[in-house]
Amino acid sequence: MTTPWRATILTLFPEVFPGPLGASLAGRGLRDGLWQLDARDMRAFGIGRHRSVDDTPFGGGAGMVLRPDVVDAACEAALAEGPERPLVALTPRGEPLTQSTVRELAAGPGVVLLCGRYEGVDQRVVEARRMREISVGDYVLSGGETAAMALLDACVRLLPGVMGAAGSAAEESFTAGDLLEYPHYTRPAEWNGHRVPEVLLSGHHAEVAHWRRAEAERVTRERRPDLWARRAAASPTIAAEEGTAPPPLAARPDAA
């Protein structure tokens, strides 16, 4: 029997889980045993009678920092039950979460997620445990719990059996070569004077596919120039159309 994909959350607020992950596709998958979720309270590893988990930062400054000994003990307990799972710290100073990273994590045995709080986590335990630091965006949250839910939702929906139609994920944003997804329409065909694009009503599958591709490219070019620039850099055809391709060697001033 295949072992389910397993997520362990290290947090000071285990009661917030599963939250939205207990609903819809992720929730059904959780109930059906397609994946497992375990939220651990880091205060169980706190210091002293009051189970202290944080302290003031060396060098001064506002806020508190999660202690390395507390975090390390929590990590040790979690990894003892699955040492092959990657240990990820959710932090605004981490690498951006991308669909590529999501696919990588979903393809593995699961993940251990550390949810930071206050001013963050003592860097020594981050480095000693070789944590992978990941950010869900260029903004700051009150803690890593919301970020953990976003990461888990993105991973879980890719697990076998969770999504009803395998093709649903194939045409989504960031899946087809760094393109955002094309716009969607449904009934009624006319609403408040706005018509559905005629091509979608034509029944001509090739033309529909061409329209969707063109719309995906248009939206990506307008809304995410960074993604479009990356596509152009990887595709000589796009680069030539955009006028960003380097000239042929013979046309260069420095050509011999």
Domains and CATH numbers, the chain: 5-156 (3.40.1280.10), 171-244 (1.10.1270.20)
Contacts of 41 (CB under 8 A, 6+ apart): 11, 12, 14
Q: What is the per-residue pLDDT for 49?
A: 93
Check residue 24 and give its pLDDT: 96
Residues 6+ apart with CB under 8 A from 58: none
CA–CA distance, 59 with 71 (Å, rounded to integer):
21
Predicted pLDDT at 169: 59
Pull the structure tokens for residue 83. Answer: 């040492």
pLDDT tens, the chain, 256 aa long: 589 999 999 999 999 999 999 999 999 999 999 999 999 999 999 999 999 999 999 999 999 999 999 999 999 999 999 899 999 999 999 999 999 999 999 999 999 999 999 999 999 999 999 999 999 999 999 999 999 999 999 999 999 999 976 545 555 656 656 899 999 999 999 999 999 999 999 999 999 999 999 999 999 999 999 999 998 888 766 656 666 555 554 444 444 4
Nearest to 74 by CA among 161, 12, 165, 151: 12
CB 3 within 8 A of CB 79: no
The pLDDT value given to residue 166:
56
CB 17 within 8 A of CB 41: no
- Tell me what pLDDT residue 238 has: 65
